[in-house]
Structure 1
Amino acid sequence: MVQAARILLFLAAVAVARAAEDFRAEFVVETTEGQQSFTVRVHPDWAPLGVDRFKELVEAKFYDDTRFYRVLPKFVVQFGLSGDPETNALWRSKPIKDDPVTATNKPGTITFAKTSAPNSRTTQLFINTQNNARLDGMGFAPFGEIEGSGMDVVAKLYNCGEKPNQGEIQSRGNAYLDEKFPELSKIVSVKLLPIEESLPKDEM
């Protein structure tokens, strides 16, 4: 019995350790130069609550067939509103608590958007395209970073500025965007990858 209990404790400890390990998320996107992809390395130790929400959203396929609706090359690229208004309403009612900011908003990091109110993060994300360290003091906590040449792919996203209206996206979804902004770049799919499945052999 004692031995069995020790084994169970060991397995539980392993499960907790694995839950806290970095993982990757692969984004397949439509750019101005066709379909390409980039990979985000996710760091649970940076912002654990944000990471849990991101993982939950990816597993629910929330980001599949969504649009990049705010593209400011000298600031951020923002996305994370569903093409389905009912889905937007559901997740908007489930904000998460704030994480402490432990990493800076440097180029290539990915962060949850939020309002000026505390504990207001839901589904919207942004990729920092320049050094936005000033956002650190405003409570924006990065939870991952784009790897390798992935920012070259981000640079090919259609530059729509801030023209799409986020309120209209919330209420009308992709019907609004496809009618008014058919040229927007979009996310085809996002999937989670264990570290060992996405590392080149010489890095393993």
Structure 2
Amino acid sequence: MPKLLASIAALALGAAPALATGIEIDVAGEAQGTITIDLFEDVAPQHVARIVELAETGAYDEVVFHRVIDGFMAQTGDVQYGVAGSDMSLAGTGGSEQPDLEAEFSDRSFDRGTVGMARSADPDSANSQFFIMFAPAPHLDGQYTIVGEVTEGLDVLDAIKRGEGANGAVIGEPDRMEAVRVID
């Protein structure tokens, strides 16, 4: 109820209503369970809005963790080429039908459980893919947009099937986001 009242007050004052505060990811495969992520709409409003939109439309459902590097991070969110059961040779190269987003860098640090937006070499190329940190990575600070942090389910994150080689590509059947829900 307080969030609803705040949204009504914001509308009355001509401001944009507050976005959802997080998402829950039901993970399936070798890893089983739920990862809860608090989204930082005050830090990266455009990126958070994109994640919320894709989650609300079901675009993230059944998308795999295509790149998982032990001791570093697990990457997912390729709604174009990363859907479970499809040809995984292109997983990680796609995005959504929406345009790429301008970077929203902050002074937050990439710590264990931090969620960042994946992108190409162009800082303004993030779209739908995101990654979750297994461990701190200060070399990423100020280089990638931080969108949130895991508040529950680090044990599920830790159980996600790891990839092989320097790029962490997952061989065989990767774990997947079975369902992604927006939460308040």
What does residue range 34-73 of structure 1 map to in structure 2 within 5 Å? 35-73=32-70
Corresponding residue of 2:123? 118
Q: Which runs of 4+ in 1 moved over 3 A?
A: 13-18
- Give the TM-score, by structure 1 length: 0.71
Kindly provide the CA deviation profile for residues 152-186 of structure 1, in whole angstroms up to 9, marking residues without a partner as x.
Answer: 1101111123235xxxxxxxxxxxxxxx622x111
Contact 1:111–1:126 (8 Å) recurs in 2? yes
What is the root-mean-square deviation of aligned Cα atoms in Å? Answer: 2.5
Deviation by residue 1:109-152 (Cα, 9 ceiling, x = unmatched): 111011121310111100011111211132x121110013x111
**TM-score, normalized by length of structure 2?**
0.78
Identity of aligned residues (%): 24
Q: Does 1:147 align with 2:138?
A: no
Q: Quick check: 1:66–1:79 contact (8 Å CA) kept in 2?
A: yes
| Residue-by-residue CA offset, 1:59-109 (whole Å, 9 max, x unaligned) | 121110011111112111001112279xx8672661011113232111101
Alignment of 1:69-84 (within 5 A): 69-82=66-79, 83=83
Q: State whether residues 102 and 141 of structure 1, in contact with CA within 8 Å, keep that contact through their aligned partners in structure 2.
A: no
CA distance in 2, matches of 1:16, 1:51: 17
Q: Give, in whole Å, the separation in 2 of the partners of 1:12 and 1:181.
A: 49
Q: Which residue of 1 aligns with 2:100?
A: 95
Distance 1:11 1:17, change over 3 A: closer
Contact (CA 8 Å) 1:31, 1:156: kept in 2 or not? no
**Cα distance in structure 2, aligned partners of 1:31 and 1:67:** 10
After superposition, the Cα gap between the structure-2 partners of 1:71 and 1:54, relative to the gap in structure 1 and judged at 3 Å, is same
* Cα distance, 1:58–1:10 mapped onto 2, change above 3 Å: closer
Residues 1:19 and 2:18 are matched in the alignment: yes
Q: Please say if residues 114 and 150 of structure 2, whose CA atoms lie closer than 8 Å, have aligned partners that are also in contact.
A: yes
Distance, in Å, in 2 between the alignment partners of 1:158 and 1:80 is: 16
Distance 1:15 1:109 in 2: 32
Report SS of the residue matched to 1:39. Answer: strand
Contact kept, 8 Å, 2:95 with 2:129, in 1: the verdict is: no
Matched position secondary structure for 2:65: strand
* Residue segments in structure 1 that go unaligned for 5+ positions in a row: 1-8, 165-179, 195-204
**Correspondence for 2:172:** 181
Q: Residues 54 and 106 from structure 1, CA distance in 2 versus in 1: closer, same or farther, beyond 3 angstroms?
A: same
